[in-house]
A and B are shown apart, each in its own frame.
Chain A
């Protein structure tokens, strides 16, 4: 250890202030979900109640929006998993004309501002005379989810030993068996991570969705409408808290799951 392992006081204070800045607004969501105040964002809340939890649970429109969001995220993730893995396999394992172009192509929908992707897709749907449906939302989401799966899968494919596949084939496995028994177990964790990220991204997406949803309401669109024209603040407070909980639990879980792996990796140094 070095002599100077203690941080200067000013650094400590400003780092702590930074953490408060990052976390306090999220903590506030939890307090407001139980506020008795209905008309304004009054602080401190005049009282606390569990009433709005029950009211929100009984709200059909919230459940419908949640259902649509889950459905869209699940289908988009499935499409992204298939297309992302196929593309990653092709790019990682063979050289062909336009290979570099394809890796750029995949990144483009997430590199460009969402509003550009949204308008482009909307005009494409109009041109092809496709009416708005769950599937237009799914297509929009899959477009930018592919890159997440692709990035995870391509890294794994590059590390994978190609000789394993040849060995399986030499030992008499057919193409499908090789895929099921050799390739899939090797890339499974990369696909799981990519799939989870893609699901989260799709579940929360609002910008592209505003262009491809038509009259349908996903949970983020419901939330956006409430933000622009607040009508039922207590219900919005509860929904906001629920959404935070849904994102907090996987992050904590992922952290505790990978923590042991990281400490052993660090111990080798």
Chain B
């Protein structure tokens, strides 16, 4: 008994602390109480309230929310105008993910296998700097790059490739008046902003591939192409899947990039923003919100099967 050895504590605070320490259950409860009150009740409550609204509908004439359970709002998602938004966003997220894999691989592989000392430091900073720089500053930088009077047009002109840029911009759907008002521009900015999220898990996965394994493949007669597809790629796959969770999910939910660099055609996040704001159609906004949650739920289930969570 501590009373037998030490004199009783003086003062209110030490005694209160001592009392609480003798009731460990209560102590734990007190520790988690703030988080349970805030996240468990207010945040989750608000989240559920929002998602519930997707089962309500809006009266087309009065614009008032009808509080009766219905699937009408979900049916509206399938209307061509709304379905196009979903399809456009998913295609964009998939293209951004594929481009990120292609761009990230040489950087991650070189940094993991060949870069040493100063060169490794350069690669580390080269990935960390864009990762940690302000999101909006990066988007702004791309506005500078893609502007009609900007550096990219200038580079193409200097290389006497201005015709190529014009030809690309002349393409239907992806092209536009200039890169900063085209799908292609949106795609470039998305890819740039989320690329570090692909490089980091990919490099981590590649660093765990033992170099002797690749030499063994070569010694056993595999061509470089074969050892890439049969040895390196399968071992790097969990890292790629882990990175793709970020590139895919972040593209699905973003509403700022397509608003600043884009053709004006809506993406999922913009649709949610518009429906809850100017349009005042909360049920439809909520139904739109359910779409990325469901897509990511399916995606994460597949990713878990492919072992992506071990590579994070």
**A interface, CB within 8 angstroms of B:** 2-8, 11-12, 14-15, 17-19, 21-26, 28-29, 32, 40-44, 82-83, 86-87, 89-91, 94, 96, 102, 105-106, 108-109, 112-117, 119-121, 123-124, 127-128, 139, 143, 146, 172, 174-176, 200, 204, 206-207, 220, 223-224, 226-228, 236, 240, 243-244, 247-248, 251-252, 255, 259
Contacts and interface: CB of A to CB of B under 8 A. Distances in A.
B312 to A, nearest CB: 12
Contact of B31 (A90, A108, A224): A90
B17 A40 contact: no
Contact of A116 (B50, B124, B138): B50
A7 B109 CA distance: 10
B71 interface: no
Given A11-B110, A15-B111, A115 B136 contact: no
Interface stretch (B80-88, B160-168, B253-261, B302-310): B253-261
Nearest to A101: B40
A247 B131 CA distance: 10
B49 interface: yes
B245 to A, nearest CB: 10
B150 A109 contact: no
Interface of B is mostly: helix
Contacts of A4: 215, 218
Given A11-B114, A25-B144, 14 more contacts: A15-B123, A21-B192, A43-B149, A43-B154, A96-B28, A96-B29, A105-B36, A108-B39, A113-B254, A113-B269, A116-B50, A121-B43, A176-B17, A240-B137
A227 B126 contact: no
B176 to A, nearest CB: 17
Nearest to A13: B106
Contacts of B259: 228
B287 interface: no
Contacts of A40: 147, 149
10 contacts: A19-B123, A25-B144, A26-B130, A40-B149, A86-B31, A120-B49, A146-B39, A174-B18, A227-B143, A255-B124
Interface centre among A22, A32, A220, A226 (most CB of B within 10 A): A22
B17 to A, nearest CB: 4
Given A94-B24, A228-B260, A28 B134 contact: no
B292 A247 contact: no
B141 A29 contact: yes
B149 A119 contact: no
B62 to A, nearest CB: 20
B32 A102 contact: yes
Interface of A is mostly: helix
Interface string B111-137: 101100000011111111110111111
B65 interface: no
Interface of B: 2, 5-6, 9, 13-14, 17-18, 20-21, 24-25, 28-29, 31-32, 34-36, 38-40, 42-47, 49-50, 103-104, 106-107, 109-111, 113-114, 121-130, 132-145, 147, 149-151, 153-154, 192, 195-196, 211-212, 215, 218, 224, 249-250, 252-256, 259-260, 269, 272-273, 276, 285, 289, 292-293
Interface centre among B21, B42, B153, B250 (most CB of A within 10 A): B42
Nearest to A25: B141
Contact of A105 (B28, B44, B150): B44
A8 B228 CA distance: 13
Contacts of B269: 113, 115
Contact of A113 (B18, B133, B150, B249): B249
B154 A44 contact: yes
A4 B35 CA distance: 54
A117 B272 CA distance: 12
Given A25-B142, A108-B39, A174-B17, A43 B151 contact: yes
B43 A251 contact: no
Contact of B38 (A14, A115, A143, A175): A143
A116 B47 contact: yes
A105 B132 CA distance: 25
B125 A252 contact: yes
A25 B43 contact: no
A174 B9 contact: yes
A89 B289 CA distance: 34
Contacts of A11: 106, 109-110, 114
B149 A42 contact: yes
B130 A7 contact: no
Contacts of B123: 15, 19
Given A15-B106, A32-B144, A41 B127 contact: no
A248 B130 CA distance: 9
Nearest to A147: B39
A200 B132 contact: yes
B40 A105 contact: yes
